[in-house]
Each structure stands twice: as structure tokens, then as C-alpha cells.
Chains A and B, each alone.
Chain A
């Protein structure tokens, strides 16, 4: 399959059909064809060629109803919709940046919560961190970061 997907990369739909034939997959075997095409879409998405994957899905959609393997990709790769939301309430992050520069290395691998340039909580578990912030009434005011490590 990986060899086939490799051959399909960059091919237009006519080329896809021809390549399937080269591998002995008759175009009439619809289920097999869709699985291979879905694998091809997955390879495009994995390699950052999402616009190309969307174009292929759109072309196939125009030919008729998409089968389940491609419907899942169609949903996964659909662009989001952005809207203007509520007025901003965030403060100046300067003190957060200063704290991170001085102290982040000592908290590698931990989730940390900061406010007003000070550490509120830290924990290896995000759930435990937010639970403690909520108990202190600080969930909405904290800035959270997972220190790499």
C-alpha cells in the first residue's frame, strides 16, 4: 500500500485510476478504490499538503456522494470559521515573559500557571493544575504553559 500511495502522490484523478490499474486494483472494485484514495488523502495530510487533499476531496465530491472513508477526511480537513468575539480583557504579558525567562528551565516537563509575574501552581498533570486553580478561584485569571522537557 505504501508503494502505491507513493506512486499516487502528485497524480491527478485520471492518474490515480491508471495507477490503481497498474497495481491490479480494478476501478470497478469500489470499496478497495476508496480505501486506497483515503490512504492517499491521509498521506497528503501527513506531509502538510492539506490544500491538495481538500482539492481532491472536492473533485471527488462533485462526482457523487463521498464514501465513509473520505467523509471522515472531508470533516477532518474542513477549514475552521473564525469570527470576532468579545472585547479583549488580557493584560500586559511582560511579567509573564520575564518569569519564564528566569524560571522556566527549573520546571521542565511541568504545567505551570502564572499571574502578575508570579507562579500560582505547577503540576505534571494538567487536570490537577486546573483543579487547584479552580479551587482558589484563579482559573480565569491564570496563564498556563507546559514547559517543554
Chain B
């Protein structure tokens, strides 16, 4: 797969990597419409995260943030409202990478920021501020759920 998308008359690269998406995954009484694989922290496993372009903030559960040594930036607590109710958390920064599939270009890495929550019953969430605002994303629904993929690149 040629994962590079181009833009403009000069043919500058728009996206530099790609990966298949996980689409409409039922997990108990919830459904993840779109999930994407990413690496959180410098080392460790790949995580499956909810790709939520409608979320203002990304969310990490506290124990994951501690495990990857996410650094609290020292700002006052932030209050957000989600489908799970009202939550108070702190903003932390940590390494994050969108992982490309083998032969589908390169990963995109960033010094992400997310809200770290103590009692978060949901999955890792990748939202706008601190993550998606600096990554170009192009969604390709393909021929169906097993074929959908995402192209990504740094802004």
C-alpha cells in the first residue's frame, strides 16, 4: 500500500503512514465506532484507543499514565463532562505514536497531552486537543468494517 497522500501543486506529502481501523466494536453495553492502534510511552505494547474527533480532550486512565511516566504539567485540575458523567483530572504529557502497518509507511510520533482521570470506566480516548490537532487524518471506509483504514501524517 502506498501510504503517502499528496497535496498542492508542489506534491508535498500530506500523510506518511496508514493502518487499518477497528470499526464498530461492541464491548458489552457500549460500541466503539472507530478505534485506532497507538503506542503510549516510549516502550511497551500497542494500545487500542477510541478515535473520537468529537472529544475536546484525550483521556488516559491514571494507572496507565503512571505506568508510562506521563508528566503532570502542573496546571490546576480540569473538569470535563462525558457519557460517563462529570470527571476531574489533570493534564499530563507523554510520548504517543500512531502506528503504521508494515509496508504502509511510517509511524507518527508526538509529545501528546491528555487528561488523566482516576475513575475512568472507558477506554483510552484520542481527542482533539493535545493529540489530533497536530495529526492529519484521512478516513477511508473501504469496502466495509474489515477494510476501513486511516491515513495519518504530521501537520
Contacts and interface: CB of A to CB of B under 8 A. Distances in A.
Interface of A: 38, 42, 45-48, 50, 72-73, 75-94, 96-97, 100-101, 104-105, 108-109, 113, 125-127, 130, 133, 139-149
A48 B56 CA distance: 5
B22 A105 contact: no
Contacts of B73: 72, 75-76
A85 B108 contact: yes
Contact of A83 (B61, B76, B109, B146): B109
A100 B27 contact: yes
Contacts of A147: 27-28, 123
Among A42, A79, A82, A148, the one with the most B-chain Cβ atoms within 10 Å of its Cβ is A82
Contacts of A78: 113
B67 A130 contact: yes
Contact of B124 (A105, A125, A133, A146): A146
A126 B67 contact: yes
Nearest to A144: B45
Nearest to A109: B121
Contact of B61 (A42, A88, A146): A146
Interface in B102-132: 102-113, 121-124, 128-131
Contacts of B25: 97, 100-101, 104
